[in-house]
Structure 1
Amino acid sequence: MGFIMDGLDAEDYDRTYSDGQLIKRIAGYFKPKMGLVVTVSILVVLKSIMDTAFPVLVSNGLDTLVSDKGLQTAIWITLLLLVSGVLSWGFNMLRQWFTAIAVGDVVLQLRKDAFNAIMERDMSFFDEFSSGKIVSRITSDTDKFATVVTLTVNLLSQFLLFVLIIVILFFRNWQLSLIAIAILPVIMAIALGFRYLARTATQRSQRSLARVNSNVQEVISGITVAKNFRQEQNMYNEFKGINVQAYHVEVRTGVLYNGVFPILVAVANLGSTMIIYFGGNNVLNHSISAGDWFLFVQGVASLWFPITSIASFWSQFQLGLAASERVFALLDAEPRVHQSASEPVSSLKGEIEFQHMHFSYDDRQTVLPDLSLKIHAGETVAFVGHTGAGKSSIAKLVARFYEYQGGELLIDKRDIRTFDLAEYRRRLGIVPQVPFLFSGTVRDNIRYARPEASDAEVEAIAQQIGNGDWLEALPEGLNTEVGEEGKALSMGQRQLVALGRVLLQDPTILILDEATASVDPLTEAQIQEGLDLLLHDRTAILIAHRLSTIKQADRIIVLDGGRIVEEGNHEHLMLQGGHYAHLYNTYFRHQSPDYRPGEGFVAVRPSIVADKA
């Protein structure tokens, strides 16, 4: 049994809300739609009155037929039945129309809020939590939220109908009415007991659906790698396991939900049987008329339907509450990057200083134990080191994507935690190791940095890189469609588009996580020209992988275990024969234009070799 629930635990940012808190918050979304809510409420009352009139008119019709009042009165009653039916249908249609408008507007706003909350989350949030599960909250859970709101309106209609029928039945015969409502506590007890099971089952159902969404999204994103390594069967087997789990969870949930209604109907039928028996005896004893007996039989049938609907509604209600709980948890997730102020950042010189920086992604492993470093305005600094040395972490901290645990990070001698991040990042350019392009044209992707830029400005930027020669390889130049994630372009072309995008932004501080992908010599030369343009007169942090880029840096910082072990220019560090020389022998020596196998090896200190052995 345990395997069915594996992987369905709550996310770390999930919260538990009471029903009252959730209902109050849902009601808050309907406050701007109060006019529609009032209209729907009036229509609910009118429809309930028309539905209640039906059994009363039929009852009076039966008594008329057995009396001496004649056929004419029966005809009038028949016409009133027709009118009440038509009006009930009309009021119900208008109610559903206005309900759909109100609910649609609320779900629209809720999805806007959820999407905006996603945009406000820190990068650590997306590193920790699956994007597929996040998408599931914005799409599937908001749909279920809409369902519960619609059902709530139906519940109000059923509840009002219940009240009206009870009043009429008590007015006609209070003894039979007491028999009718005697079964009510049993129905409500079943419904309330079911409520606690429904919330847990619903949460597991939604989490299993989120796992399916997450797996499908991951498979589609990584399909190229899967086919390259011929792992289609393994990916299918993994999906099959997740899908089977979702199947078992949904079956258990379905049995729970669909089982409560037959139980409630069986209890309600017991009450109807009692009314038929005792009411029939009263007719035979002439205690009540045949019309009143029919009113009770028909009224009780109408009475049980709203009661069982109200009771079984808890299953759907809990489904909607659990969905809204997941959405609100996403909205309320605490940010990990905390700004102490939101001061304007009108301009920057680009000086960066780390003072005794302590940083870790979690509590288990420290990435930067005690980093102190000053980067002067306009200086190009290349960070090199083995994987896990802390190079990318430094860049992420400068971008303010993560929160550091100790020390200070100063930009132009100002604490980065006091900046308005939106303004700061407008002056910060980032070129990731694997450039991401959005669906659209090359022109659209370059303009992404400055949506207000004209076509002429975009074209001028594109022409600056390699004299625009790279555009000739594109079928339609700047109007070439890049495809999903830029897959219609080569990796080198994507890098050129990413460089053009940052050039158009014209940032003060540049972060470049240089790509390691192999490109043809012509494209590499065009990329290098683009880098030269980017690095000119800017503060630049380079996570460098190309020897040509490293050599151009004003200063090279060698990291090992999050600590600075060497710094200087290429020639100086090579003469030292230390960590940088070791890295050169391992990663960069073959990139030298005059490289010959077996030649160009740089002697390193024995202690360095021993450390890496």
Structure 2
Amino acid sequence: MALLDGIEAGAEDSYDRRYGDRQLLRRITPYFRGRGGAVAFVTAAVVVAAAAGSAVPILLARTVDSALDDDARSVMTLLAVAVLLTGAAAWLFTVLQQRLTGALVGDAVLKLREDAFAAAVRQDLAFHDGHPTGLVVSRVTNDTQTFGALLSLVLSLFGQVLVVLLILTALFVINVPLALLTTAVVALIVAVSLAFRKRARTASTRQQQALAEVSGYVQETLRGITVARNHRGEAAAEAGLREVNGRWYQASVRLNRLFSGIFPLLISLTGLGTTAVVLVGGHNVASGDLSAGEWVLFLEALALFWSPVAAIASFWQQLQQGLSAGERIFALIDREPAVRQSAQLPPPRLRGALELRGVSFHYTPERPVLHDIDLTVAAGETLALVGHTGAGKSSLVRLLTRSYDFQEGTLLADGRDVRTFDLAQYRRCLGVVTQTPFLFSGTVADNIALGRPGADRAAVEAAAHAVASGAWLRQLPEGLDTPTDEGGRNLSTGQRQIVALARVFLQDAPIFILDEATASVDPLTEAQIQEGLDALAAGRTTIVVAHRLPTVRKADRIVVVDDGRLVEQGDHATLMRRGGAYSRLYRQYFHHQHPDHDPADEPSGTERAAVGAGVHPAEASDAVDH
């Protein structure tokens, strides 16, 4: 499968970058703006719950001392009631905090996912050509969910850490040496966890990337399931899944090994710390330097200390996965499209005159595609681009639509540099129909209406009837209300083309670009499409990448593209008489498509004589010209 080519387990995408924890904190903070009241309440609830939670062990310690003191037995009942009340307060405010935290985090994830999706949508075609869709989808869906879980976890741990700080303060008031011993043990555990952090982040990132590869592979395979079945490729597809799934498995095993090593170490440190406090505290009780209740407080405090530390250890994997997910999300959001505009001026209503001056383009520096292109298209002119597969026709169209950015030269629309226009508004001036149009889930009418958002039903119906007089609608079971599956799979290729034409007709753009739209349809559908093209091209600048003779011959001008260069221009008859590159293309690709005799299609007497002598007609023509 294509997705497997060049992908290694845990391979980073070209736009990935590293973010520090503080950077991630600064990036996520704006997603809570406008919810200041809720954030303040959550903070207050955390503080109250932490204060109540830290008061419980202190009250328990006083209760123990009261139970041992015959003179303070009357206070014990009050202390017991106080323990129950503070415990209930801690529980209540913890519940309130968790519920509101869920709403806050949900809102943040909602906005974050919207931003990630918007970033994916605004990327140029080079980005989507170079990165499998499934990998991008994984960032928008899986990674935002994982990062949201991290936010909930951090808020939960914040409350537990606050409890630790409050109790630690009380311990220093009671017994400084024992408090220092407890603090040293906790500091050692935290230091070990932080030392482990970098390796854990790297391993977690690789696992997330491997999971994205699995998601991308499954999506690609299911979209191409028809091809796989037709060529009996199910076994190969399953083998491919085993390969990418194996990469995820290896990344998960490596991550698990890391965490399986750190957990026993943290638990051992916890046990050693508890033992040290028990021994030192017991000695202090025996010597009278510490009361039994205060010793109980230290032991209870240790249990509370280990709770957040154990939580950090237990959720360390989730913590690191959340951080790596945040990196992947913000790397997508921060990725700048390769197509850059020098200004954002709103384009006027274009007449449709286009001009390329010295335009050169490559996908990669070692792969030049177009070389020093000079081309002028008059407003209202129909221009056909012809040439062998890979000659550069579609690449030229991609430059006109600003799907890719050229490296050299200038592209003008009505005499103005298109790089000064607002890109979205400029693209609305272009009506584009590709070889395989994509239809969204909905109805035929919904897909036509995309040409002009907000258009009413009457406008949609008018656009539909403008293509082949609407005769194609009778072939649809419910006419304009016929449902469309994802991609328009329930419609034929020709029907999708006609819907796309109607969509562009409704758009009413001054420039119309057709990229091989009739290359794979039946003659009847081609006739309907051609009728639609004729209606659409009237009064508009039309650029057609064509492999069909009827489309080519109706063009005002034909441009032959060969190896990234414009080698010939002219109308059909003139180019045929010239006997050059177009004439050769015609005899190779077009001649069989038109059974009617056309004297312009016949070689000249010089060309016939040259063929009889074994000389190429183009060479004979060149000899005559000289």
TM-score band w.r.t. shorter chain:
over 0.9
Give 1:486-497 correspondences, 5 Å limit. 486-497=488-499
The corresponding residue for 1:510 is 512
Q: Which residue number corresponds to residue 305 of structure 2? A: 303
The separation in 1 between residues aligned to 2:433 and 2:136, in whole angstroms, is 25
Which moved further from structure 2: 471-480 or 515-524? 515-524
User: Which of 55, 66, 80 is 2:68 aligned to?
Assistant: 66
Aligned residue pairs total 606
CA distance in 2, matches of 1:49, 1:438: 55
Separation of aligned partners in 1, 2:139 and 2:260: 25
CA offset at residue 373 of structure 1? 1.2
Q: Is the 8 A contact 2:439 2:487 kept in 1?
A: yes
| Separation in structure 1 between the aligned mates of residue 30 and residue 558 of structure 2, nearest angstrom | 56
One-letter code aligned to 2:506: L
Which residue pairs with 1:455 in the alignment?
Answer: 457
Query: Once the 2 structures are TM-superposed, how far is the Cα of residue 314 of structure 1 from its aligned partner?
Result: 5.2
Task: Look up the equivalent residue of 1:244 and give its one-letter code.
Answer: G
**Residue 437 of structure 1 pairs with residue 439 of structure 2:** yes
> What's 2:38 paired with?
36
Secondary structure in 2 aligned to 1:396?
Answer: helix
AA aligned opposite 2:244: I
Give the residue type in structure 2 aligned to 1:232.
E
Check the 8 A contact 1:491/1:517 in 2, yes or no: no
Matched, 1:141 2:143: yes
Q: Which moved more, 1:277-286 or 1:221-230?
A: 277-286
- 2:556 pairs, out of 554, 562, 565, with 554
1:150-208 Cα offsets, whole Å, 9 max, x none, are 22212221221111111222222223223322323321221121011111111101110
1:123 equivalent among 122, 125, 134: 125
Is the aligned partner of 1:206 residue 2:208? yes
Q: Contact 2:10/2:251 (CA < 8 Å) preserved in 1?
A: no
How far apart in 1 are the matches of 2:456 and 2:260? 59
SS across alignment from 1:383:
strand
In 2, distance between residues paired with 1:72 and 1:151? 42
Which of 401, 404, 407 lines up with 1:405 in the alignment? 407
Separation in structure 2 between the aligned mates of residue 217 and residue 350 of structure 1, nearest angstrom: 39
Query: Cα–Cα, structure 1 residues 544 and 98, in superposed 2: closer, same or farther, change >3 Å?
Result: same
State how far apart, in whole Å, the 2-side matches of 1:591 and 1:280 are: 100
Task: Find the aligned partners of 1:16 and 1:609 in 2 and give their Cα distance.
Answer: 58
SS at match of 1:475: coil
Structure 2 portions without partners, runs of 5+: 620-626
Rate the CA distance shift 1:230–1:313 in 2: closer, same or farther, 3 A.
closer
Shift of 1:517: 4.7
The range that moved more, 514-523 or 320-329, is 514-523
1:608 is displaced (CA, Å) by 7.4
SS in 1 for 2:35: helix
Q: Give the CA deviation at 1:286.
A: 3.9
Q: How many Å separate the matches in 2 of 1:236 and 1:311?
A: 37
Distance 1:74 1:132, change over 3 A: same
Q: Report the secondary structure of 2:542's partner residue.
A: strand
Query: What is the correspondence of 1:242-281 to structure 2 with a 5 Å cutoff?
Result: 242-281=244-283
Q: Which runs of 5+ in 1 are unaligned?
A: none
The normalised TM-score by structure 1 is 0.94
Contact preservation (8 Å) 1:187, 1:311: no
Matches within 5 A, 1:261-410: 261-310=263-312, 315-410=317-412
Could you say which residue in structure 2 is the equivalent of 1:540? 542
Identity %, equivalent residues:
47
Aligned Cα root-mean-square deviation (Å): 2.3
Match of 1:478 in 2: 480
Q: Is the 8 A contact 1:379 1:539 kept in 2?
A: yes
* Residue identity opposite 1:532 in structure 2: D
Selected match of 1:524 from 508, 523, 526: 526
State whether residues 9 and 247 of structure 2, in contact with CA within 8 Å, keep that contact through their aligned partners in structure 1. no
Question: Is 1:77 the counterpart of 2:94 in the alignment?
Answer: no
Contact (CA 8 Å) 1:268, 1:304: kept in 2 or not?
yes
- Name the residue aligned to 1:465: 467
Partner AA of 1:491 in structure 2: T
Cα separation, 2, equivalents of 1:433 and 1:203: 38
Q: Deviations over 1:110-133 (max 9, x none)?
A: 112111212221111111111111
Taking structure 1 as reference, are residues 516 and 227 closer, same or farther at Cα in structure 2, changes over 3 Å only?
farther
Q: Deviations for 1:372-431, whole angstroms, at most 9, x for unmatched residues?
A: 111111000101000111111111111111111111111111111111222222221000
Residue 416, structure 1, aligned to residue 418, structure 2: yes
- 1:161 partner letter: V
For 1:243 and 1:32, the matched residues in 2 are separated by 42
Letter in 2 for 1:328: F
Specify the code of the residue in structure 1 equivalent to 2:589: Y
Contact 1:515 1:545 in 2 (8 A): no
In structure 1, the partner of 2:589 is: 587
d(CA) in 2 for partners of 1:565 and 1:70?
106
Residue 79 of structure 1 and its aligned partner are, at CA, apart by: 2.0
Q: Deviation per CA, 1:349-375, whole angstroms, max 9, x where unpaired?
A: 111111111111110121111111111
Note the C-alpha offset of 1:220. 1.3
- For 1:119, give the aligned amino acid: V
